[in-house]
Amino acid sequence: MTATAKPRIESIDLLKGLVMVIMALDHVRDYFHYPAFFYDPSDPEQTSWPIFLTRFITNFCAPAFSFLAGISAFMIGKRKAPAALSAFLFKRGLWLIFIEIVIINFGWKFDVQFRHIGLQTIWSLGVSMIVLAGLIHLPKTVILLFSCLLIFGHNLLDNIHFDGSVLWSMLHERKVFEIADGHVVGFAYALIPWIAVMSLGYCFGSFYDSSYDAGMRKKIFNWLGTGSLLLFIILSAFNKYGDQEGWVNYGDLSKTLMSILDIDKYPPSLLFLLITLGGTLIFLANSEKLKGKMVGFFSVFGRVPFFYYILHIYLIHLIALFAAELTGFGWQAMILPKFVTRVAVLKGYGFNLIVVYIVWIIVVLLLYPLCKKFDRYKQAHKEKWWLSYL
């Protein structure tokens, strides 16, 4: 690896690590924050700015990681023939879907009956990789047009509904379907436009070619990131397109501003992707030369994100199980038939936001040595093919 390539990879690892750590905050909030069981943290009529921002900053995680997964796929393609890259993406996509259904769903709920199967982040990444396995054989211009068409145009589909359609829910609507008596499956992450976010990242992988000028990459990323944020402001001002519900003027500046920033994630609206991917590009543009212990700390998580993702779910849920027992709700209350904040017997359980942040920091610090050890193992055993799936 050349000296010019190294900081580019480190900046990607840094951003992956940051979004992994920030993501854990949202999951800790789900399992430990008292108000989470009573109202949406993004609801301007009920929330506060500390709670709203705790939720809002985690919006950047899924888009950034999906986009970076596309860049990583391009980099892997520099070492593989197109057919080999397709095979890798297809197999890894299937593996991620399996992990989502079995390992991750059990981690969320500890329910051996699997009464509620939620298809979320890892599911969308898996399907996106399978789609990308086919897209990589097309010209880059076609992939870019496909990506932009889905990202900028998918909100035209917002008013199209097919009642009872599993396929349409899988593609563009968040719904839950009963698959057997007492067993349901929920499509939390609709595939449109998530598949386009990854394919867009694949297109942007070209900017990380070793022959590409780092100064020009920084300039382009800054311009595109800033342009995305400006377009977000312009479309928000018109309040006509780009977000399914739009914002509400509450006659109160604070609540109205929250409403503007309360953008749809399920599925991710154009406005959601403009602000999150815009921020992602600006960060990538200005982080390549960052050094120091904190950069190294976060980069560890970024080099083993899948390993960290699985561990953090189980650790958070285990701690919550003890918390429920110690606060009189009983550990059995944390054996969940559905998503934690929707379980009626847990209303009244939980803590304030300070405790949430303390638990979050504890979770991250506990996982750091495990992730560091696994990272070292991966670096020392690159010949082991199965490590590429972790």
Q: Please, what's the b/e burial string for 82-92 (b: 16 or more CB within 10 A of its CB; e: otherwise)?
A: eeebbebbbeb
Q: Which pTM was predicted?
A: 0.94
Indicate the pLDDT class of residue 381, thresholds 50, 70 and 90: confident
Beta partners for residue 186, in sequence order: 118, 176
pLDDT tens digits, residue range 345-370? Answer: 999 999 999 999 999 999 999 999 99
385, pLDDT greater than 90: no
Indicate the pLDDT class of residue 17, thresholds 50, 70 and 90: very high
User: Average of pLDDT values for 237-262?
Assistant: 95
Cβ neighbours, 10 Å, residue 134: 11
Radius of gyration, CA atoms only, the chain: 21
pLDDT for residue 132: 98
Residues 6+ apart with CB under 8 A from 178: 184
pLDDT tens digits, residue range 114-170? Answer: 999 999 999 999 999 999 999 999 999 999 999 999 999 999 999 999 988 999 999
How far, in Å, are 117, 123, 195 from residue 102 at the CA level?
9, 11, 22
pLDDT tens digits, residue range 226-247? Answer: 999 999 999 999 999 999 889 9
Domain ranges across the chain: 5-389
Helix axes 270-286, 140-153, angle to 10 degrees: 130
3, pLDDT greater than 60: no
- Site of tokens 């386009």: 196
Provide the strand spans (E) within the chain: 116-119, 176-180, 183-187
Distance between CA atoms of 19 and 383, rounded to whole angstroms? 28
pLDDT for residue 1: 35
For residue 367 the two structure tokens come to 């996982």
Distance between CA atoms of 264 and 250, rounded to whole angstroms? 18
pLDDT tens digits, residue range 315-349? Answer: 999 999 999 999 999 999 999 999 999 999 999 99
Strand duo 116-119 + 183-187: pairing: parallel
pLDDT for residue 182: 85
Distance between CA atoms of 142 and 129, rounded to whole angstroms? 17
Indicate the pLDDT class of residue 305, thresholds 50, 70 and 90: very high
